[in-house]
Amino acid sequence: DQQVKQNSPSLSVQEGRISILNCDYTNSMFDYFLWYKKYPAEGPTFLISISSIKDKNEDGRFTVFLNKSAKHLSLHIVPSQPGDSAVYFCAASEQGGSEKLVFGKGTKLTVNP
């Protein structure tokens, strides 16, 4: 049973446009959500996170939105740059600051010049 789902395996956008990556979860105990970015031959790199007490968190070109009622979060990248091309993983953890992260399968983003 997959508790964190990224239903789009891939996404392609033009440089300068907005990239929107989506993530759905089923476990209502999740209260902290993270996005990681992964380049080939490297480990995942933390990008941005959001607590369930918020519905939006922004860091430069990256914004994460959380809709708890829909159990849905999204990552917006504006404007998209070719260097953003990578695999993006959504991850979640349960209440109490659990150290265990549950990851989605990832979405491969390609930003075309």
Binding mask 34-63 for other proteins (x = CB under 8 A): x-x----xxxxxx--x--------------
In whole angstroms, what is the distance from residue 72 CA to residue 8 CA? 14
| Binder of other proteins out of 69, 70, 83, 100 (CB under 8 A) | 100
The residue among 67, 79, 91, 77 whose CA lies nearest residue 21 is 77
Task: For residue 109, give Cα distances in angstroms to 30, 51, 90.
Answer: 25, 24, 13
Half-sphere exposure of residue 75: CA atoms within 13 angstroms, side-chain side: 29
Structure tokens at 61: 């070109």
Least distance (Å) from other proteins to the CB of residue 69? 22
Q: Which stretch binds other proteins (CB under 8 A): 12-20, 69-77, 78-86, 96-104?
A: 96-104
Using CB under 8 A as the binding rule, whether residue 11 contacts other proteins is answered as no
Least distance (Å) from other proteins to the CB of residue 51? 11
Structure tokens at 33: 């959500």
Binding site for other proteins (CB under 8 A): 4, 32, 34, 36, 41-46, 49, 89, 91, 93, 97-106
